[in-house]
Structure 1
């Protein structure tokens, strides 16, 4: 995609002491001039299935009664050539921040950089939106903007034009990111607690043609997965 892009980033099980083996980050990428059309299509799918026009799409809301809706949402993503998804699955089990002279927040920003670095357009401008997770949004935005912009030598912020916190229930493509990364997280944790979620995960795997638990080639653009593990910290 060589154009101005909206990038919608979400995160799951990212806290240091949540007893989860992975932090999963995900980003939906959509051309700015196609965003309105994508929002309209998702709204049409809600209405088709008898849901409110602004029903919030979330992995954790998948249920037997709504599984057909979520299957349609997954199919829509794979059928729309304007949408791409990238995810980083970062292992937390053997993290040793002291060894690398970093904090958990430092590591988090490094992983966010890995998520975003290959989807910032050149030429073109990026408008990056993060789901609001806590009260530290302002600090997170400033630090992440600095890390990403400096890494691509965008010191005057001409490539990364915007990076802001938004409420996911107002942003349909951020909700789509939540759905897809939820499936990736579910697969990597080896869960099988919900038949409805399993059906949606199976559809994701079928359409992507992969298991969602291994890194894809870097050149893969539609559904790109990078599985990261700590270096030198394993027993």
Structure 2
């Protein structure tokens, strides 16, 4: 029997000259019938902590840690799934033909979404709108993924409109932060963020710095090596 899923995509430190070593693209997926209940439960957690702002990794600090910790616990009790692809931007060699940074950005999205599909199901894919070039990107992504008949709908939304894009932001932020600590770019002094990284690793039962098997459907990471 066919099922419908919504896929909410986000990006982290994906720009060429943003000063960050890694590019991450990721998504949170949820079965369409579960969306309404999940929204209500996420909203209830925000009300519990009297929090009115957007849920973002950059807003994780000591005062907000209990709420973000509860969101992480909630995510791992649901059927929602998370997947991200990661690349060390220093490995991107733009001297190679058809290997520009922009080309690679779209290849990353292909890799992100390529393995999501059960062709018996249908998928609606939503992208966080970032800039004035977003609609051009949407057309390119549609063209790249046109072979996949299970993806029925592509649309841009703004992150403040979707709790699920916000969840993707939190999870990718944690992965990125952990990688940057290991690379020595940050020292991990923001204890709330360090603790949230540990909580995610504990719940997912994986390392956040290496590729996970495709069989790990709940929380899946793919580190693309270009060497």
Q: TM-score range by the shorter chain?
A: over 0.9
Aligned counterparts of 1:144 and 1:98: Cα–Cα separation in 2: 24
Displacement after TM superposition at 1:128 (Å): 0.6
Q: How does 1:121-132 map to 2 (within 5 A)?
A: 121-132=118-129
Displacement after TM superposition at 1:19 (Å): 2.4
Aligned counterparts of 1:113 and 1:38: Cα–Cα separation in 2: 27
Q: Which residue of 2 aligns with 1:88?
A: 85
Q: Which residue of 1 aligns with 2:65?
A: 67
Displacement after TM superposition at 1:94 (Å): 2.1
User: TM-score, normalized by length of structure 1?
Assistant: 0.90
Aligned length: 222
Q: Which residue of 2 aligns with 1:227?
A: 223
Aligned counterparts of 1:213 and 1:2: Cα–Cα separation in 2: 34
Unpaired runs of at least 5, structure 2:
none
Displacement after TM superposition at 1:11 (Å): 0.4
Q: Which residue of 2 aligns with 1:47?
A: 47
Displacement after TM superposition at 1:135 (Å): 0.8
- Whether the aligned pair in 2 keeps the contact of 1:3 and 1:121 (CA below 8 Å) is no
Displacement after TM superposition at 1:102 (Å): 2.8
Bigger CA drift: 110-119 or 95-104?
Answer: 95-104
User: TM-score, normalized by length of structure 2?
Assistant: 0.93
Which digits, 9 at most, give the CA deviation of each residue in 1:195-231, with x for residues without a partner? 1111111110111112200110011100000011213
Distance 1:180 1:2, change over 3 A: farther
Q: Which residue of 2 aligns with 1:9?
A: 9
- Whether the aligned pair in 2 keeps the contact of 1:2 and 1:121 (CA below 8 Å) is no
- Whether the aligned pair in 1 keeps the contact of 2:57 and 2:174 (CA below 8 Å) is yes
- Whether the aligned pair in 1 keeps the contact of 2:2 and 2:122 (CA below 8 Å) is no
Unpaired runs of at least 5, structure 1:
none
RMSD (Å) for aligned C-alpha atoms: 1.4
Bigger CA drift: 191-200 or 132-141?
Answer: 191-200
1:63 counterpart SS class = coil
